[in-house]
Structure 1
């Protein structure tokens, strides 16, 4: 047994133990799947609860969902939050499509003196999740419209109910951006004007996001 699985057997976190006991034996031998699984369980062994850490807010249920995603997805199609850019790391580029069909690159959005808020709909978005994203977009426009530009990154499976002028809709037809940003479910990334990630969250929370924004825009 590898050192990694030896450590997993010894973890004390009840959540990590649950993952180990129910999913560990099924893990694939494919190296990149094992690496992603290792990263996810390592985070589960830390007691995050529902509080935010510096520049990040991750719910336990989301981490469990990530592990399940690793186990039921072919390695070449993995969308892994742990491999996505973290706070303090440079944002990744991706090709997107505007509502009028015009092509645009994510880096083009970052050529600005404002922050860029990226709201990802995820792979299997549902109306209630989309409503959370649109509510965050409206909140951001009303309170930080001069400092933050907001963009909704839409997956092909997303069905949006109603329109919202608070957010710039960008389609991700080949899921390139969703894969690069680990957006298997609804999440958000705030990119600074220098192109680095300031904050990320899965799933997004208006309260947690507001607390973070109040700390940087005083």
Structure 2
């Protein structure tokens, strides 16, 4: 039996999407990390199929979104049919993001790209390796690992992060409960090719007197079939292609031909949420912390964002730049998101299931209710793409009393804008790829000597005292009147587009967190010390 020293890396348990993202983000923040997974490799079976706009923005910060976009299928709309009759189409309106539409892509492809990125950071998934026990003390976790060859290993690590799915070993070993309920209907899943009159960028939703049917988009012309089946169905037995074909033909009312099945299965939807995401030196993320219906494609995306939220906080605490209390904000911020996802997907799933149980009149009322009023469409789209997530209740997001007329408030996601850097055009989001907090100090629109002097003094002081975790930027117009210190970056905003998007009328400041959410804003250039004194 081998024993690893107490200076071991953070241990991530689970090598699927959330675990890969967690390990990659920790490595990007210069945290030593080790990741294990009990499976021999990436699961080729398709469970998650969609990457939403917010997740694509996050993958942009990792530098891998181009690889994702190159092999994905944009989702342009959802067509609705009732008992074989076309009833309408829900257009996927572009949202305010560099990635305005969701992309269809099998989870295995997303994980392959993530793992390649993780490997480029010098971290490799240790496959066929299981966590069997763990014991916590005040400053370490003692974990037992079982390797595929039967070898046992004792690891002493400062933190364990459970990204090991709905049947999480980490959750079980910490005796965290997983309260919730199962959906009454079993579901059928199939990853197949479908020949027929289908628009490649559209998903299809069929309501039928005998149940619902969904045809989600993948890439390479494939479709992910999801349908509820009889309650007495034996879910331990996979459906045959012939059974799936019969169901699709019956409920769609179309002459579709299914072929080339990669995966056929039955499963039960569960709605469950862990009461706590942290137990001492262990954390839960992704499906280990929350599970829900796959309608809406929010599961994988929520796990990606869990990892993106926790990694930078853990890095700052481990380096001593932030107090341990920052780690408690992970649950504060992310559990409320999971609550909303569970409620939203449960309602959508139950409404789809309810159709077959209603009278003809009530069915028509249900269908009519599915069409969103014109004035609500953009709000609904922002929520679908998860760009409206709000952490304003977090202790790390503070809004001074003076307030702004517009612009993203503390807790809101930062918005993008064209800018110039060293005379070259780029996007504001490119600066947010930094693993640091980003402080943006806005110079006055016109030359004001005393204000410029104050601005450069503040910039230089923050860069000197906190430059190891805060990147400092001065936003100026095209005239170049502001001379910036050598450890500060000057951003050119000649059309004042960035200034307008952030509601800056003259001078002001924004502090944006490493996960792209606003931590603080103020008109007063010298108020950054007040924020830091409050949270650090």
Q: Does the alignment reach a TM-score above 0.5?
A: yes
Deviations 1:97-144 (A, max 9, x none): 112x22221111111221000111132341111112111111111111
Contact 1:123 1:157 in 2 (8 A): no
Q: Which has the larger radius of gyration?
A: 2
Shift in CA distance, 158/121, structure 1 to aligned 2, threshold 3 Å: farther
How far is the alpha carbon of 1:58 from its aligned partner?
A: 5.5
Equivalent in the alignment of 1:194: 515
Contact 2:444 2:452 in 1 (8 A): no
1:92 aligns to 2:415 (yes or no): yes
2:509 aligned counterpart, secondary structure: strand
Shift in CA distance, 197/137, structure 1 to aligned 2, threshold 3 Å: same
Shift in CA distance, 163/87, structure 1 to aligned 2, threshold 3 Å: closer
What is the aligned length? 140
Matches within 5 A, 1:57-206: 57=400, 81-99=404-422, 101-156=423-478, 159-160=481-482, 162-205=483-526
TM-score (norm 2): 0.25
1:131 aligned counterpart, secondary structure: helix
- Structure 1 unpaired stretches of 5+: 1-53, 64-80
Pick from 398, 403, 418: which aligns with 1:55?
398
Shift in CA distance, 181/113, structure 1 to aligned 2, threshold 3 Å: same
Q: Following the alignment from structure 1 to structure 2, what is the Cα–Cα distance between the partners of residues 117 and 125? A: 21
How far is the alpha carbon of 1:193 from its aligned partner?
A: 0.5
Contact 2:456 2:484 in 1 (8 A): no
Q: Following the alignment from structure 1 to structure 2, what is the Cα–Cα distance between the partners of residues 182 and 122? A: 13
Equivalent in the alignment of 1:209: 528
Q: Following the alignment from structure 2 to structure 1, what is the Cα–Cα distance between the partners of residues 525 and 499? A: 15
- Structure 2 unpaired stretches of 5+: 1-396
Q: Following the alignment from structure 1 to structure 2, what is the Cα–Cα distance between the partners of residues 58 and 170? A: 28
Shift in CA distance, 158/203, structure 1 to aligned 2, threshold 3 Å: farther
Contact 1:126 1:158 in 2 (8 A): no
Q: Following the alignment from structure 2 to structure 1, what is the Cα–Cα distance between the partners of residues 514 and 484? A: 27
Q: Moved runs in structure 1, 4+ residues, more than 6 A?
A: none
Shift in CA distance, 127/175, structure 1 to aligned 2, threshold 3 Å: same
Q: Following the alignment from structure 1 to structure 2, what is the Cα–Cα distance between the partners of residues 167 and 113? A: 16
Deviations 1:60-111 (A, max 9, x none): xxx8xxxxxxxxxxxxxxxxx4111110111111111112x22221111111
Contact 2:437 2:513 in 1 (8 A): yes
Matches within 5 A, 1:22-41: none
How far is the alpha carbon of 1:163 from its aligned partner?
A: 4.2
**Of the two structures, which has the highest relative contact order with CA contacts closer than 8 Å and spacing of 6 or more?**
1
How far is the alpha carbon of 1:181 from its aligned partner?
A: 0.9
Q: Following the alignment from structure 1 to structure 2, what is the Cα–Cα distance between the partners of residues 102 and 157? A: 15
Contact 2:499 2:505 in 1 (8 A): yes
Equivalent in the alignment of 2:331: none
1:189 aligned counterpart, secondary structure: strand
Q: Following the alignment from structure 1 to structure 2, what is the Cα–Cα distance between the partners of residues 183 and 138? A: 21
What is the alpha-carbon root mean square deviation over aligned residues? 2.0
Q: Following the alignment from structure 1 to structure 2, what is the Cα–Cα distance between the partners of residues 194 and 122? A: 28
Contact 2:475 2:490 in 1 (8 A): yes
Deviations 1:20-62 (A, max 9, x none): xxxxxxxxxxxxxxxxxxxxxxxxxxxxxxxxxx723355xxx
1:83 aligned counterpart, secondary structure: coil
Equivalent in the alignment of 1:12: none
How far is the alpha carbon of 1:215 from its aligned partner?
A: 2.9
